[in-house]
Structure 1
């Protein structure tokens, strides 16, 4: 297997890191993962973690292309952001080369938006968007990358023109575990039979009235106290509400019937259902497929 590995693709996240061996024909020779993401290790730990991921599947000196948080200021070696409008076809030109890894490692840059009042940053998503262009050549329009920190990205002529981050997933975690709403989640399983009804009701409320988000959020608690709603309904309502608020607040970004949703199948279903309510169609794109396609495309740029 080692002899077949031409290079290694790596996606270094905050919590986890994944690596894939890539053969000359683009097939995978191995895959591995670790929970030693950027947030769990120090700068000096990166070479050892990378060596552990690759193991004996590739020899020393093998070309290794890395995206994600390894290039953050707190990561292995900072890869300066490319400013919008950022040309995805030249992403690899901004890569940096950390020393001492034993491999020919290159870390791809993130993208920043410096417009006053709309400052924003991304790391890792730009590679998935390059992958989207590889998987769907000629794509133009808005793509959504739902998750802990969802990204809305407008792409024109192979460039990231503008983007917006929504802390939807993190807000759900904070509100459900660390706010007064947590009491509404302590009465039973959050994945019970009423979760879908809660999602549907919250989603519609968020889509219809995103400006009332802070008031609608508190209904999670009030409905538990006054209407006997269980933890499953409350979980669904809060999740659907936050997704609805996110999409409702970005409705003017949507300019075509098909909207790529780069992420997990779960998020694809959730965001797809919300988009359908306002006349759009979500088109799921597996996050891993987009990442690998983006890393392959980035390597081909050099």
Structure 2
């Protein structure tokens, strides 16, 4: 039976994921909860982590590698940032040890773009990039990482040159709940209306300057011509994702396929959006990417 070699943790703002891993990278145990940075800040980061370590039977001396918001300024221990252009190897070298613990716990830093014209930060996504690109990547790459705050990353080999964050997921949540468009989506079911979504993607991608007007048309069109709440939801989603693609591809589509790092519904929607604007992508699961990145970090730090 395989022996655990380390524990990998993806600690987000509102979510917590932990994996007990052996030397081959196989998962021996797993924990998930909503005890992200916000909850852990109240409960205590050490207590939250220990409860999950106990649940998977992690031995006392087993090391723990952590990425995400546990390393934010308001998190457990601030892990800082690696500045762009950021070699992914620097992320491993600048991992921060958590003081006062009985086991070796390291938190990976984020990446900062210190450009007054386009200041930006990421924390957690750098580990996904490590899992996607690896340490020996060659050539240019464009990576799209959808989420509450979507990241578009331009990399050269294993170095992050530039990136941009789009508040697509957060805007969708606020617009669909806190504006007049909340009436349009009330009672929407889970069905994805592809035609409504694709039409909205196309219009926003082709005329991004009309974004505010396109969003209002979701409600006015429903009032004048009818339409289901699900269709309205897809139009809002398609409009926002179309805007994101217009921004992310502002310099033109790359020659090679874009790497899409996403899972579940986001993977489905973004794949459909890229297909709609005829841009090829290759898709990698977001959770697979972060686990690979954490494994590479653990192997580099502890030679496990």
Shorter-chain-normalised TM-score: which range?
A: over 0.9
The equivalent residue for 2:270 is 271
Over 3 Å counting, the alpha-carbon distance change for 1:136 and 1:171 in structure 2 is: farther
Please list, as runs of the form range in 1=range in 2, the aligned pairs for 1:112-261 lying within 5 A after superposition: 112-134=112-134, 137-138=137-138, 140-186=140-186, 188-192=187-191, 195-251=193-249, 252=251, 254-261=253-260
Q: Structure 2: give runs of 5+ residues left out of the alignment.
A: none
Per-residue CA shift, 1:202-249, capped at 9, x if unaligned?
Answer: 111111111211111111111121111221110010101111111012
Per-residue CA shift, 1:271-290, capped at 9, x if unaligned?
Answer: 12222233321211111110
Structure 2 counterpart SS, 1:267: helix
The equivalent residue for 2:85 is 85
Deviation for aligned residue 1:73: 0.7
* Equivalent pair of 1:47/1:102 in contact (CA under 8 Å): no
* Equivalent pair of 1:43/1:75 in contact (CA under 8 Å): no
> What do you get for the CA RMSD once the two structures are aligned?
1.9
Please list, as runs of the form range in 1=range in 2, the aligned pairs for 1:16-35 lying within 5 A after superposition: 16-35=15-34
Rounded to whole Å, the distance in 2 between the matches of 1:95 and 1:108 is 4
Normalising by structure 2, report the TM-score: 0.93
Rounded to whole Å, the distance in 2 between the matches of 1:300 and 1:23 is 11
* Equivalent pair of 2:71/2:78 in contact (CA under 8 Å): yes
Normalising by structure 1, report the TM-score: 0.93
The equivalent residue for 1:293 is 292
Deviation for aligned residue 1:266: 2.0
Over 3 Å counting, the alpha-carbon distance change for 1:226 and 1:241 in structure 2 is: same
Structure 1 counterpart SS, 2:23: coil
Q: Structure 1: give runs of 5+ residues left out of the alignment.
A: none
* Equivalent pair of 1:268/1:282 in contact (CA under 8 Å): no
* Equivalent pair of 2:135/2:158 in contact (CA under 8 Å): no
State how many pairs are aligned: 299
Deviation for aligned residue 1:25: 2.0
Rounded to whole Å, the distance in 2 between the matches of 1:61 and 1:98 is 14
Structure 1 counterpart SS, 2:105: strand
